[in-house]
C-alpha cells in the first residue's frame, strides 16, 4: 500500500489523539476513520433504498396525509408501542 501523506493540521490532530490516549497508535486512528467512513456509506445506501421505496409508495398512493402534527405524533407513538410488544 502507498504511504499516506497528511497535512500538518491532520498530522497534528492524529498525534494529539494518540498522545491523549484515545488511540494507541496512528494506525488505530486511521482504522477508526475508515470504519466511520464505511458506516457512513452503509447508512447512505440504506437511506437511498428507503427513499426509492418511499417514492414508489407515494407514486402508488400508499401514504397518509395528516391534518396536524399531533395526529402524526399520536400515530408514531402507537407504532412505537406496537413495535415494543
For cell 497508535, name the residue.
25
2-31 pLDDT per residue, tens: 898 999 999 999 999 999 999 999 999 999
Cα separation, 57 vs 79, whole angstroms: 19
Confidence class for position 85, pLDDT limits 50, 70, 90 = confident
* Residues whose CB is less than 8 angstroms from the CB of residue 64 and which lie 6 or more positions away in sequence, other chains included: 75
pLDDT at 63: 95
Amino acid at each position: 500500500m502507498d504511504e499516506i501523506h497528511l497535512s500538518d493540521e491532520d498530522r497534528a490532530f492524529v498525534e494529539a489523539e494518540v498522545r491523549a490516549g484515545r488511540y494507541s497508535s496512528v494506525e488505530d486512528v486511521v482504522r477508526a476513520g475508515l470504519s466511520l467512513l464505511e458506516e457512513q456509506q452503509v447508512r447512505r445506501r440504506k437511506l437511498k433504498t428507503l427513499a426509492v421505496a418511499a417514492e414508489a409508495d407515494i407514486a402508488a398512493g400508499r401514504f397518509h396525509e395528516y391534518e396536524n402534527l399531533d395526529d402524526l405524533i399520536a400515530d408514531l407513538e402507537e407504532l412505537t408501542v406496537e413495535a415494543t410488544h
